[in-house]
């Protein structure tokens, strides 16, 4: 069972990381187009809208990832309801891990992969937003 959890965990976290990176690349390209548009008008308003959209987009990325893990937990038979699976997924991805809803010993190691991925991907999202804010604030203050 250990081998199965390691294989499943590696595959799932790889897919989730690829999804996250591709989504951020898409967002960066979208923001580049947005920059070209708002540069013609009010830069401050454009910066506010661009940052706001980026935050909501990133929240959406993390939401899709949490739902994906929750669905996998349901498929494995770890939870009976989507509510429990999603609650567990979100608390695991955010590394809060309350412990009021837990997985069986059979699949417990798999959830560690979600915790590792959550920790890493929240860091990547934060770095993306910090880089974006530095760029936007430099762009807005210069012009």
pLDDT digit of tens for each residue in the chain (143 aa)?
788 999 999 999 999 999 999 999 999 999 888 767 666 566 777 778 888 999 999 999 999 999 999 999 999 999 999 999 999 999 999 987 788 888 998 898 999 999 999 999 999 999 999 999 888 778 666 55
Cα–Cα separations (whole angstroms), residue 78 to 59, 84, 89? 26, 9, 12
- Residue 44, token pair as written in the block: 């401050």
Number of domains comprising the chain: 1
Answer whether 74's CB lies under 8 Å from 85's CB.
yes
CATH code for position 128:
1.10.287
Answer whether 119's CB lies under 8 Å from 99's CB.
no
Range of the domain at 117: 2-142
DSSP H or E segment with residue 28: helix 2-38
Distance of CA 7 to the CA centre of its chain: 21
């Amino acid at each position: 069972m250990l081998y199965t959890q390691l294989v499943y965990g590696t595959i799932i976290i790889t897919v989730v990381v690829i999804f996250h990176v591709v989504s951020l690349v898409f967002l960066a390209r979208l923001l580049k187009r947005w920059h070209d548009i708002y540069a013609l008008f009010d830069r401050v308003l454009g910066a506010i809208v661009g940052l706001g959209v980026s935050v909501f987009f990133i929240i959406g990325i993390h939401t899709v990832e949490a739902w994906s893990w929750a669905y996998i937990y349901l498929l494995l038979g770890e939870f009976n309801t989507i509510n429990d699976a999603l609650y567990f997924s979100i608390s695991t991805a955010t590394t809060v891990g309350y412990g009021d809803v837990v997985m069986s010993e059979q699949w417990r190691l798999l959830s560690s992969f979600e915790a590792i991925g959550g920790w890493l991907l929240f860091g990547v999202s934060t770095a993306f937003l910090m880089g974006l804010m530095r760029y936007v604030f430099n762009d807005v203050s210069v012009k």
